Amino acid sequence: MENVSRDVIAPDGANPLGRLSLEQLRRRTSMKWRTYPADVLPLWVAEMDVPLAEPVAEAITDAVRHGDTGYPAGTAYAEALAEFALKRWAWDGLAVERTAIVPDVMLGVVEMLKLVSAPGDPVIVNSPVYPPFYQFVGNLDRPVVEAPLGPDLRIDFAVLEDVFRRTAQGAARPVYLLCSPHNPTGTVHTAAELTRIAHLAREHGVRVVVDEIHAPIVAAGASFVPFLSVPGAENGLSLMSASKAWNLAGLKAALAIAGPEAAADLARIPEEVSHGPSHLGVIAHTAALRDGGDWLDALLSGLDDNRRLLAALLAEHLPSIGYTPAQGTFLAWLDCRKLGLGDDPAKAFLQRGRVALSSGTTFGTGGEGFVRLNLAASQEVLTEAVRRMGSVVT
């Protein structure tokens, strides 16, 4: 890696969240850093302000050095994920032969929905939820049906069962699109909750497709449970990726994983889907899962520190905001309804505070008056952002 600038990689063990200055970050040309003017602090889209993990940078540069820039092939990515799942989640049920490489998690979701439903079939989501769930599903000509989360931001099973019952009537083939861990709330579903979901879905004839892109990112004391590991989930379909945990969104590659009873469904995935992932993406994701564990642990520790810092900063500058540090993801879901900024407080924070946050209104029912804040930044940036937000309401 002698030709790679040291400010784009982070060694194992060093907190990657504190290594890059604002000047360095503003050289980036990605969506996070080019959507807003330079005087705006961007804490919105789910990109992290981190340098690459050293094993990932090494794998990419080695591939480029050797001209290894062709089409993806083989099962190394799936094998690396299976090893990671066994080590991190004690899950030995990820069978390589029941996986398929897809371009990314959301396009993988689209392909899974095509396999197990038809136009007009309802897709159930737990609002507030990741906005592309609405956009991508709507473009598939499948109506989105909301089963809102409870006041504790966990699944309301009375509501979910009622929605399952109603959507399962008639000849429709309903699908439950589960977000685990949940975006934007950061809720990490328990084994008991996931088992109950699996049993309810079977009872009502609902297929489950689960977006588990944030799976590696859990706070200290929390445990991620793969949906396909729980009893009753054998006909489920999952999408996983190293994208969020190692900041690889621009290196396209994800894996679709089928439970034992869904293997035949996954086998019907069109051949052309495998042409979407990037070969360099597969190389990067494989390296992250196989060799990036120490880097990930340093990141997780840094995120725990940032959750505590955010709580302290809000108590000082915006005590009326409701915030409970999340168990998972690098996102914070902030209840701003007491601030008097209307249904979309993100507008005020942007226009008057020069801080870009994700508007809660885009996350569906239950998002009004909320904002989503990206915690994956340096403590200096996080401190300045909350200070600016506080100035909006003083």
Q: What is the pLDDT of residues 308-348, one digit of tens each?
A: 999 999 999 999 999 999 999 999 999 999 999 999 999 99
From CA 97, how far away is CA 78, in angstroms rounded? 9
Task: Please list, in sequence order, all residues whose beta carbon lies within 8 angstroms of the beta carbon of residue 67, skipping any fewer than 6 positions away.
Answer: none
How is the chain split into domains, by residue range?
Answer: 6-55+293-392, 76-288
To 10 degrees, what angle do helices 379-392 and 345-353 make? 100
Angle at 294 between CA 292 and CA 299, to 5 degrees: 95
At 211 the pLDDT is 98
pLDDT tens per residue across span 338-348 = 999 999 999 99
At 172 the pLDDT is 82
- Please check whether residue 300 is in contact with residue 281, taking contact to mean a CB–CB distance below 8 angstroms: no
Q: Which residues of the chain have a pLDDT value below 50?
A: 1-4
At 168 the pLDDT is 87
Task: Please list, in sequence order, all residues whose beta carbon lies within 8 angstroms of the beta carbon of residue 48, skipping any fewer than 6 positions away.
Answer: 16, 17, 247, 299, 330, 374, 376, 377
At 1 the pLDDT is 46
- Please check whether residue 282 is in contact with residue 77, taking contact to mean a CB–CB distance below 8 angstroms: yes
Q: Do 6-55+293-392 and 76-288 come out as alike in CATH topology?
A: no
For all residues of the chain together, what is the average pLDDT? Answer: 96
At 323 the pLDDT is 96
Q: φ, ψ for residue 308 (rounded to 5)?
A: -65, -40
Task: Please list, in sequence order, all residues whose beta carbon lies within 8 angstroms of the beta carbon of residue 69, skipping any fewer than 6 positions away.
Answer: 63, 279, 280
Tell me which H or E stretch contains 236.
none
Domain 76-288 has CATH 3.40.640.10: yes
286 CB burial (10 A radius; 0-12, 13-18, 19+): buried
CATH class of 6-55+293-392: alpha beta
Provide the whole-model pTM: 0.95
Tokens encoding 108: 């993988």
Tokens encoding 312: 């302290």
At 4 the pLDDT is 47
The residue behind tokens 């009872």 is: 203
